[in-house]
Amino acid sequence: MEYWKNENEPIQAFIKLFQAAMADAELSSGLKKVNQLILFDYTEDGPNCSFWIDTRAGNLNVGPGKPSEEPDMTMSLSADDAHRSWSNKLNPVMAITRKKIRVKGSAVGLLKLAPKLKKVAEIYTGVLKDLGWEDKILK
């Protein structure tokens, strides 16, 4: 991994990102419309390098590891490419086309949020600062 010391660091950052996004009215509204249980699988970087978000039935929950139920969608990629994506330095549509992101299930709802990646990147930068990881912020 280029940006992370171990498999726990990215999960810590990404869960904090989604918790902060859920506190934003515009982003939480968009996430609820996705209405799926999504697994973000970065296990190519370590067996515990994954997290899930549940946006079904108007709920917003996030947690480490794999969900207890079968996910509606799984996005598999490296933790470094996820970092680039949340930093708005990797276009998710192009990454899917180039197989940097592999999707199992329908990503249509989630891809509708792609125009909001600039706002997500701003929140993510704040999360990295809060964690004391300014050195991970991509310019």
Please report whether residue 73 resides in a domain: yes
Arithmetic mean of pLDDT, 103-118: 81
User: For the domain that residue 113 is a member of, what is the CATH number?
Assistant: 3.30.1050.10
**Is 80 exceeded by the pLDDT of residue 124?**
yes
The stretches of the chain forming alpha helices (DSSP H) are: 8-22, 25-34, 79-86, 92-97, 108-111, 117-130
Pairing of strands 102-104, 73-76: antiparallel
Q: Which domain holds residue 117?
A: 8-128
pLDDT for position 106: 83
Please report whether residue 135 resides in a domain: no
pLDDT band at 139, cuts 50/70/90? confident
Total structural domains within the chain: 1
Arithmetic mean of pLDDT, 51-65: 95
Please report whether residue 133 resides in a domain: no
Please report whether residue 104 resides in a domain: yes
Q: Cα(76)–Cα(31) distance, rounded to whole angstroms?
A: 19
Token code pair at residue 110: 């989630």
Q: Cα(131)–Cα(9) distance, rounded to whole angstroms?
A: 10
Quote the pTM value.
0.91
Torsion of the alpha carbons at 100, 104, 110 and 115, rounded to the nearest 10: 20
pLDDT for position 89: 94
Arithmetic mean of pLDDT, 106-122: 82
pLDDT band at 115, cuts 50/70/90? confident
Among candidates 95, 87, 86, 80, which has minimal Cα distance to 42?
Answer: 80
